[in-house]
Every structure is written in structure tokens, then in C-alpha cells.
Amino acid sequence: MSVVDICLRVERLNNIDLLKKIADKVYSAVKPLLGTKKAGKIVGSGFGGDKTALIDEVAEETVIRHLKRHHLACTFIGEERGVENLSSKPEFYLMVDAVDGTTNAIRGLRFVSTSLALSSSNSLGGIEAAVVMDLSDGGIYEAAKGEGARYDGKKIRTSDASVLDEAVVGVDFSRVPDAVEKIVPLVRAAKSVRSLGSAALEICHVASGCLDAYVDLRGKLRTVDIAAAMLIVEEAGGVFLQPDGASFGNYPLTELNRFSVIASANKQIHGKIASLISGL
């Protein structure tokens, strides 16, 4: 390993540590609000036009405060605030979905996460470090580019599932009526279907082998929703593509785009899912 390689590796591990510190702050801020009415109070509307609940605002402001206090010169891209340069010379991009699974968080369903991704360039393919924290217990999914993925420090790999009738598949079809019909062939073919309510955490469950795939055909997931989980599932050996097979690599972090996604444990299961939903 050359000195340059070693330096790059140290930098990536430092980046992961930074994201973990931020996630810890969010965890402490959000914990007392989980399952409370107060958490769901509408306090405004976010970057993409969705309503902002108090818990979303508290979590995102916690991130912003940490970044400012430590004079971290970045371009912040958050679910609520949108794009904001925290320095005249930003050194990196930080993608923040401070609470992914807001409905679960408000209702007290314990499947909710914070999703953080860091990149030195303005593209999804440039993400170098990612952390998704399970806010119910502080468990951490992490990945640094080229270094694999981990859950609570231990390496994780996607499953070797290759047939749908033995597969457990996460889906989301809430709030978009057409999405129900689109997903029916997959629901019929899979062994079991789950709908857990936090896309980032469900994609991390594909990374750890708990799920064999996660499919959301609603065309609603934003860049901030998927940035961290994409690196984690890819570093765990998974496949992360749009339903038409297109990759996400070239999309700019600073643009508001909305996607449908298929996160799969491997190429075989991806192929089977893609062929089931093609032509829809």
C-alpha cells in the first residue's frame, strides 16, 4: 500500500468517525421525542415540499449546530433545509436525512433511522463514507468506499438468495395508489413481503442479509434518502439500480431528483425482480 493509499484510507476512516459523531448527536436529540404527539407537530415544509414535523426539524438542526460548532466547511444538503453552504470554501458535501421513517418515529414504531453520507464531489457516485443509524437502539450501519460495509463494527454481506419464492422482500407502496398495482406481481412471487417504513434502514437490512431485496416503485425517493444506504448495500455486495437498470452514479447531490429503486442482495435476484416489473 502506497503512502497515498494509506492517507486516503485514514481520511475515509476519519470521515466515518465524523458521521458517527453526528449520528450520536441526532440519537440523543431524537430519543425523548420518539412515539410522542409533540414529535409530529407540523412546523413548516421542507426542501421537496413535504411537511416538516418537529422531530425532523430538531434532528436536522442538531446536525447543523454540530457542523457550525466545529467549523466544518461543507455544503450541507438536508431533507428540510435543502442545499446550504456552511463555508465560502466548502471542502465536502454532506447528505443528511436526519429522520428517515418520520411516521414510525411519531407513532412509536421502532423502525426509524438517521442517514448521513459524505462526498468530495457533487455526484451520488462520489459518496465515500456513509452511516445509517437505527434510532431505536443506536445500532450503526457504515461503509467507506472500497472498505466493505459493517453493522456495529462487524463486516456484513448481502444474502445469496437466488429465487423469489424463498425471498423476503421489503416494499413501500404507501400514499401512491398506482404503486400498489405495480408491485402486485412481486408480492405474488416472493415468499414474504415486509413494509417497515424507513427506506434507508430497509436497504441496510438488504446489506446485512436480513432482507433479500427492497423495492420502491413510487418514484418518490430523493437523493438524500438513498445516498448513504446505496454505498452501504453496494459495499456489502448488493446491487442498487433504478427499475430500468440505470445506475445513480451521475446524479448531482445538490439537485432535487426523485427515484424508484431496486436494492438487491445480488445480480440473480435483481434480474428476477427486474424482469417481473419490467413493462409496467
235 touches 143 (CB < 8 A): yes
213 binds a second copy (CB under 8 A): no
DSSP state of 208: T
103 binds a second copy (CB under 8 A): yes
In this chain, which stretch among 62-70, 172-180, 227-235, 258-266 interacts with a second copy, using CB under 8 A?
172-180
254 touches 245 (CB < 8 A): no
CA distance linking residue 117 with residue 134, whole number of Å: 15
Q: Which is nearer to a second copy, 9 or 110 (CB)?
A: 110
Task: Please report how close the Cβ of residue 86 comes to a second copy at its closest, in angstroms.
Answer: 33
Q: Which is nearer to a second copy, 192 or 250 (CB)?
A: 192
277 binds a second copy (CB under 8 A): no
In this chain, which stretch among 10-18, 123-131, 168-176, 216-224 interacts with a second copy, using CB under 8 A?
168-176
Give the three cell numbers for residue 132. 445509517
223 binds a second copy (CB under 8 A): no
Task: Please report how close the Cβ of residue 151 comes to a second copy at its closest, in angstroms.
Answer: 10
CA distance linking residue 114 with residue 224, whole number of Å: 11
CA distance linking residue 98 with residue 218, whole number of Å: 21
187 binds a second copy (CB under 8 A): yes
Number of residues forming the site for a second copy (CB under 8 A): 30
177 binds a second copy (CB under 8 A): yes
CA distance linking residue 151 with residue 172, whole number of Å: 23
Among 46, 209, 237, 238, binds a second copy (CB under 8 A): 209
Looking at 31-85, list the stretches that DSSP marks H as alpha helix, in order from N- to C-terminal side: 54-69
Q: Phi first, then psi: what are they for 230, rounded to 5°?
A: -60, -50
Among 85, 195, 247, 250, binds a second copy (CB under 8 A): 195
- Using CA atoms in the order 272, 266, 99, 63, what is the torsion angle rounded to 10 degrees? -150
Place of cell 409496467: 280
Where does this chain bind a second copy (CB under 8 A)? 35, 103, 107-110, 168, 171, 173-175, 177, 180-181, 184, 187-188, 190-197, 205, 208-211
